[in-house]
A and B are shown apart, each in its own frame.
Chain A
Amino acid sequence: MSVRNVLDTLFGMIPLLDRIKVSIEESSGAIPKASTQLSSVTQATESATVEILNTLDRMTGRIDAGETSIGVLRAGIEAGSPLQEQIAVIEKVLMDTRQDSMAIAMALQVQDITSQQIAGVTAMIEAVRAQLLDVAGQLDREHERSTSQMSPQPSGHFDSNAQYNLTGERQQTADEIIQQWQKVHHE
């Protein structure tokens, strides 16, 4: 290959590198918007979850009031009266409703767990953005400034491996480790 051919090839690469640079800029420019949208999802689910918990609190208050009234009714009715059976039915309904309300509240832990997973994804895409900007910086020295001006990414206040796992296996593993630990350290 002649020197002329090498120079032609190199000059031909310049438009290609420009296109790569523009593509990287566009890709990295879209990431902050994606991060913001993910953050909005977390905020929205937290607001909705708090609304559900508020509703459950009101339900629990009504159940408390119902149980108090039923207790008063029961005291005013003679033992052996057929009404006692009906009161027992109402008491069971209230108790079951209380348990269902509690089950709904406990299931809402999924909001915290998914928000940690989302935070993990956000950190990951921000890391990709940093790498893209680094590459762009090598193509265009101007980008070095924008890379250095990036805000530090939050880290450590989420668990990207968080899982909504109801099997109890992870708790069982933790319990076994704690038992072993306590055995060793109390001996």
Chain B
Amino acid sequence: MATVKFLVVDDSLTMRRIVINTLKTIGYADVVEAADGKDAMAKLLSEGADFLITDWNMPEMNGLELTKWVRGNAQFAAMPILMVTTRGNKEDVIEAMKVRVNNYIVKPFTAQGLKEKIDAILKAGEAKPA
């Protein structure tokens, strides 16, 4: 079992369950979850994580704002970030890349699609396992 610790952020309980189940299926059992950006900030500060998977549209603090916060925080700035969102327009993808997400998945995704993105990011050596 890989030792990468994931933080899964989504305001939808359904999506958190699906992402977490998929991560477990593909070999990642160490997962923390958060319901929005503010919750994610608190979880990062209290529990830490090696890899962030975040939704875009969320109450309190959205995925873009969370990404900006992570990139601006010296402790987490290098953390791989995968955005998983329903937003599939060209402008949306560019906006996400501008705030420096590592990759982008449009919902609904497949287990294989999620695995490929995670593998590619980890292979690029951007993850720092705990």
Contacts and interface: CB of A to CB of B under 8 A. Distances in A.
B107 A177 contact: no
Interface of B: 10-15, 17-18, 21-22, 25, 56-59, 62, 85-90, 93-94, 97, 103-111, 113
Contact of A157 (B11, B22, B113): B11
A1 B12 CA distance: 65
A50 B14 contact: yes
A102 B87 CA distance: 24
Interface in A128-187: 154, 156-159, 161-166, 170-171, 173-174, 177-178, 181
Contacts, number: 100
A165 B86 CA distance: 10
Nearest to B86: A162
Nearest to A111: B14
Contact of B86 (A57, A102, A116): A116
A39 interface: no
B86 A177 contact: no
Task: State the majority secondary structure of interface residues on A.
Answer: helix
29 contacts: A46-B13, A49-B14, A50-B17, A53-B17, A56-B21, A102-B25, A102-B111, A109-B18, A110-B108, A111-B12, A111-B14, A112-B10, A113-B86, A113-B107, A113-B108, A115-B12, A116-B57, A157-B59, A157-B62, A159-B85, A161-B86, A162-B87, A171-B88, A171-B105, A174-B105, A177-B90, A177-B93, A177-B94, A178-B103
A3 interface: no
A119 to B, nearest CB: 9
A156 B59 CA distance: 7
A109 to B, nearest CB: 4
Interface of A: 46, 49-50, 53, 56-57, 102, 105-113, 115-116, 154, 156-159, 161-166, 170-171, 173-174, 177-178, 181
A163 B106 CA distance: 10
Contacts of A163: 86, 88
A161 B92 CA distance: 12
